[in-house]
């Protein structure tokens, strides 16, 4: 399996790191860069068509960013009989229909897991869910930069500009953060999610998106006083064949699980009749998390990436440690390992699960429960 890689920045370098290090059966044979002086990798080329016209290349991975020439290159790759994988949400959201049609016409795969939610297998889950049921809606925290800013402002009481600067220092926000803080980035992801969930292509420019550029400390304080937390939420739903997609900050009730999504993490939920609601979370960006999703797409296309072998294994419960609440009538066996003994219940010292299992084997009518830290 030979890969041509377009772009060797944050995501592209993650892709070569994973593939070069782990998959001898997959070769990244050429890498498109703007300037050969970017490094001394013998695979570098500045001629995109050397990759796009190379009959030995099976899959083209695009992680250059921007709409053009990324769109033309991905389309050409598909027309030339190559599978395509892209992490480029902006380009994809503007050309989803055309690219999926081109892929279908040429009997090739177009995959884009990394374009939404970084390492979270979100597109995969949207596709998998539809084997059984129709998705009715999705909602999520889909932008790590804004979630970092909101979490930090909520936690520390800092103001927006201060927090944005900190996010830029940590590499969570770009020098020009407009796409993130104005909600465009989430709009692109909602567009792609809606396409995958509902098979409807909506123009990303038609998605209302309200960001957090003008958020003040006092807005956070207002939400807090009401037991609420502000998060930037992208949503899509299908009601009687009518699709609605939108992005806006929401004052979530304090008991909404989305409130617990901290720092630059992402969390996205889908809903359907049979499943109820299922959530998926993780790193929404970053070199290796995003590259992980790209390489997963490559493996899905290749479908022989991971050897399907198995071996028997011992269950190493001696390595699992915890403290345990144990209740029952006769707890004498547990007294030597207990930190607290009460009438009818004890709390153990930290111990191994193996030790606990041995004690449980010799106990009767006892309830045990791990006490999470
Ligand atoms: N970074 C993330 O965590 C993340 C997560 C999810 C999705 N994505 C998406 O993945 C894509 C890539 O992101 P990234 O963070 O890797 O960007 P990046 O660090 O800027 O890397 C892009 C690379 O492609 C090069 N490039 C751009 N146009 C080119 C052209 N015409 N010919 C040759 N090389 C070209 C850039 O060169 P120059 O720097 O010289 O322009 C740069 O080296 C974007 O669409 C982004 O939205 C990124």
Q: Does 278 lie in the same domain as 133?
A: yes
Domain end (from 92, 115, 138)? 115
Q: Is 10 in the pocket of ligand 1 (CB under 6 A)?
A: yes
pTM above 0.95, yes or no: no
Q: Does 234 lie in the same domain as 133?
A: yes
Query: Per the structure, how many domains does the chain have?
Result: 3
309, pLDDT greater than 70: no
In a domain, 338, yes or no: yes
The whole-number average pLDDT for the span 257-277 is 97
Ligand 1: centre distance to CA 8 (Å): 7
304, pLDDT greater than 90: no
Q: Is 227 in the pocket of ligand 1 (CB under 6 A)?
A: no
Q: Give the pLDDT confidence of 166-186 residue by residue, as tens digits.
A: 999 998 899 999 999 999 999
Taking CA atoms, 46 is separated from 38, 50, 344, 357, in Å, by 11, 9, 74, 62
Which atom of ligand 1 is nearest to 293's Cα? Answer: 6
Q: Does 347 lie in the same domain as 219?
A: no
Q: Does 277 lie in the same domain as 165?
A: yes
Q: Which of 65, 119, 148 to mutate to test the pocket of ligand 1 (most atoms within 8 A of CB)?
A: 65
In a domain, 158, yes or no: yes
Q: Does 162 lie in the same domain as 271?
A: yes
- Rounded Cα distance between 154 and 230, Å, is 8
User: Which residues neighbour 5 within 8 Å (Cβ) at sequence distance 6 or greater?
Assistant: 12, 15, 16, 28, 30, 31, 32, 60, 61, 63
Q: Does 221 lie in the same domain as 135?
A: yes
Q: Is the dihedral of CA 196, 202, 205, 209 positive or negative?
A: negative
Q: Is 234 in the pocket of ligand 1 (CB under 6 A)?
A: no
Which atom of ligand 1 is nearest to 287's Cα? Answer: 3
Q: Is 74 in the pocket of ligand 1 (CB under 6 A)?
A: no
| CATH for 31 | 3.40.50.720
Ligand 1: centre distance to CA 88 (Å): 8
Q: Does 268 lie in the same domain as 345?
A: no
Q: Give the pLDDT confidence of 123-168 residue by residue, as tens digits.
A: 999 999 999 999 999 999 999 999 999 999 999 999 999 999 999 9
Q: Does 232 lie in the same domain as 109?
A: no
Which protein residue's CA is at the shortest distance from atom 42 of ligand 1? 9
Ligand 1: centre distance to CA 71 (Å): 13
Residues of the domain holding 41: 2-115
Q: Is 117 in the pocket of ligand 1 (CB under 6 A)?
A: no
Q: Give the pLDDT confidence of 1-60 residue by residue, as tens digits.
A: 999 999 999 999 999 999 999 999 999 999 999 999 888 899 999 999 999 999 999 999
3 state DSSP class of 178: helix
- Is residue 279 a contact partner of residue 269, using CB atoms and an 8 Å limit? yes
Domain end (from 64, 82, 115)? 115
- Rounded Cα distance between 310 and 299, Å, is 19
Q: Is 89 in the pocket of ligand 1 (CB under 6 A)?
A: yes
Q: Does 265 lie in the same domain as 234?
A: yes
């Amino acid at each position: 399996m030979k890969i041509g890689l377009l772009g060797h920045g944050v995501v592209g370098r993650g892709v070569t790191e994973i593939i070069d290090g782990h998959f001898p059966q997959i070769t990244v044979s050429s890498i498109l860069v703007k300037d050969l002086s970017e490094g001394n990798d013998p695979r570098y080329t500045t001629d995109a068509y050397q990759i796009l016209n190379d009959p030995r290349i099976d899959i083209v991975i695009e992680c250059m960013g921007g709409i053009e020439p990324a769109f033309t290159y991905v389309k050409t790759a598909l027309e030339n009989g190559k599978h395509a994988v892209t992490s480029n949400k902006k380009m994809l959201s503007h050309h989803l229909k055309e690219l999926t049609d081109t892929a279908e016409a040429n009997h090739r795969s177009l995959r884009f897991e990394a374009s939404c939610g970084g390492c979270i297998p979100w597109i995969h889950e949207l596709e998998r869910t539809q084997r059984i049921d129709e998705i009715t809606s999705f909602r999520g925290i889909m932008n790590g930069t804004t979630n970092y800013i909101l979490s930090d402002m909520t936690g520390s009481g800092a103001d927006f500009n201060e927090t944005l600067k900190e996010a830029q220092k940590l590499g969570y926000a770009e020098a020009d953060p407009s796409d993130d803080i104005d909600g465009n980035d989430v709009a692109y992801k909602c567009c792609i999610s809606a396409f995958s969930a509902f098979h409807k292509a909506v123009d990303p420019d038609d998605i209302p998106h309200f960001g957090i550029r003008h958020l003040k400390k006092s807005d956070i304080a207002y939400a807090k006083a009401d037991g609420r937390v502000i998060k930037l939420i992208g949503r899509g739903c299908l009601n009687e064949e009518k699709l609605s997609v939108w992005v806006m900050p929401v004052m979530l009730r304090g008991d909404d699980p989305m409130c617990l999504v901290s720092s630059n993490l992402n969390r996205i939920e889908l809903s359907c009749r049979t499943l109820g609601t299922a959530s998926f979370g993780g790193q929404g960006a970053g070199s290796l998390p995003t590259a992980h999703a790209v390489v997963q797409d490559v493996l899905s296309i290749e479908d022989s990436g991971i050897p399907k072998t198995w071996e028997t294994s011992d269950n190493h419960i001696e390595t699992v440690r915890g403290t345990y609440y144990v209740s029952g009538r006769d707890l004498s066996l547990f007294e030597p390992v207990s930190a607290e003994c009460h009438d009818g219940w004890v709390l153990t010292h930290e111990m191994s699960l193996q030790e606990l299992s041995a004690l449980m084997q010799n106990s009767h009518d006892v309830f045990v429960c791990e006490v999470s830290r």
